[in-house]
Structure 1
Amino acid sequence: MEKVMVKRFEGKTALITGAAQGIGFGIAKHLALEGARVLLNDIDPSLLTPAVAEIQNLGAVCVAVAGDSSDPAVIQEMIDTAVKEFKQLDLVVANAGITLFGDFFDYPSADLHQVLKVNVAGTFLLLQAAARQLRSQGLGGSFLITSSVTGHQAHKNLAAYGMSKAALEMLAKSLVLDLSPYKITINTVVPGATATERTLLDKDYETIWSQLTPMGRAAGVEDIAQTALFLLSDAARHITGQSLVVDGGWTVTSPSPE
């Protein structure tokens, strides 16, 4: 008898921000491969077009909404588009974020406000709008936030970014109280050093992090995506308010790349 492969997210609609490249795209692609209808968001429309095409070429259903994921108007457009195109929203991955390095003593206030706006306020407002939609549907669902090991361990010149990521993990814990009555789980995936289009602009990135990581390599997007899919799936339906670190053991010893 031929074995039928069960797709974990068949019939589900997923919204992923910061999804044109890197971790966000990896999560979106794997959700699509497992049956989800996906809505991609990114601030760069030129990157969204090939991302959507790649997922559609897999035979999956994919649409996009370009724009700043911290803009309330863009957030509402994402929610409205998901409902219009797919009738409902089930899964939300708040992945969009911005990293602005800088020495604490000279860190510009404009950079601080930008990091907090995109990483913290944008995530809060996205989840708020999505939660209202899921509450009205009455079908439950799952939220996932992309955090970072910099929210657990100090990194030079990343005080603002690390603070923002730690805040997101506290947000997930806090929202357990609000979301659980509606059968909505919320968790964070916490990547360590991960090889993406952005990080690999540093030609020494993989070499350095392979030496610093107990498992002997930086994470790949696949490592983060597979963890994300578990936390979004029914297999994790009794897991909420938790942060799952995917760093090959780096936070155990936390050697600095400096």
Structure 2
Amino acid sequence: MSTNEFSGHVAIVTGAGQGIGFEISRQLCIQGASVLINDINETLVDEAVAKISTHGRCTGLAGDAGDAAFIQSMVDEAVNKFGKLTIAVANAGITLFGDFFEYKLQNLQAVMNLNIGGSFLLAQAAAKQMKQQNSGGSILLMSSVTGHQAHKNLAAYGITKAALEMLAKTLVVELSPYNISINAIAPGATVTERTSEDKDYKTTWSRITPMGKPAMVEDIANAALFMVSPASRHVTGQSLVIDGGWTSVSPSPY
């Protein structure tokens, strides 16, 4: 993509204080977009904005991406600061491992509220704004390979990710008349600040991934940018897996 691929676009990216969300935000800015980044951790937001602002126009808003009122405030802030909204990336999510037989209700509710509820409500709020603008837009949901293949102790997380892919498919009917595309990407094992805390993570996933290594955040961000770019304007309701081939063979890391 050219360095001005997203010139004139305005994006919201949730869960962008670090990791995949940060890299998506950084690349959008580099390629000309104005970006509002969100994270629940205010320190991470401030640090991310400081880094990304060197590449272009960027602002931050710390808060809960699963809260309806806060989600609307993000849309309002993006429009007030940058004049419109053309891209929304619902990247925020939580992973709470747990044995199915012992899984706690509060953990189930927390995973559902952010992963499904937050994504649904951001898509809704962003689409309303895009519809009002009458200029179209792109919405991207963050699924996972665990929405395609069983993964031990991730039943709750996996069903939320499968649900997001169905949400992308379902909303085609309602959003297409307004020239709004909606898609999902499903990352596999990815090296981030969080996964790097496991000293065996890279070695384990390099062994069981057909391409011989886990993804880097740049690999996921490259796919994300394609899905929200003008180059994919006729792609909607789709889910793209980025996993180095893991879902083709699906060996367990355990």
CA contact (8 A) 2:3 2:30 kept: no
Letter in 2 for 1:184: I
CA contact (8 A) 1:101 1:157 kept: yes
- Report the Cα offset of residue 10 of structure 1: 0.3
| Structure 1 pair 109–79 and aligned structure 2 pair: CA distance change class (3 A) | same
Instruction: Return 5+ residue gaps in structure 1 as ranges.
Output: none
Q: Which residue of 1 aligns with 2:214?
A: 218
Runs of at least 4 residues off by over 4 Å: none
CA contact (8 A) 1:65 1:77 kept: no
Query: Does structure 1 residue 119 correspond to structure 2 residue 112?
Result: no
Q: Which residue of 2 aligns with 1:52?
A: 49
Q: Which residue of 1 aligns with 2:129?
A: 133
Q: 2:183 aligns with which of 173, 183, 187?
A: 187
Letter in 2 for 1:193: A
- Aligned runs of 1:173-184 on 2, under 5 Å? 173-184=169-180
- Report the Cα offset of residue 72 of structure 1: 1.1
TM normalised by structure 2 equals 0.99
Q: 2:25 aligns with which of 18, 23, 28?
A: 28
Q: Which residue of 2 aligns with 1:77?
A: 73
Instruction: Return 5+ residue gaps in structure 2 as ranges.
Output: none
Letter in 1 for 2:36: L
The RMSD of aligned alpha carbons is 0.7
Distance 2:30 2:185 in 1: 20
CA contact (8 A) 1:175 1:186 kept: yes
The alignment partner of 1:38 has SS state of strand
CA contact (8 A) 2:3 2:32 kept: no
Which string of whole-angstrom CA distances, capped at 9 and with x for unpartnered residues, describes residues 185-232 of structure 1?
000011000000001100110000000000000000000000011111
- Report the Cα offset of residue 134 of structure 1: 0.4
CA contact (8 A) 1:149 1:251 kept: yes
Query: Does structure 1 residue 7 correspond to structure 2 residue 4?
Result: yes
Alignment size in residue pairs: 253
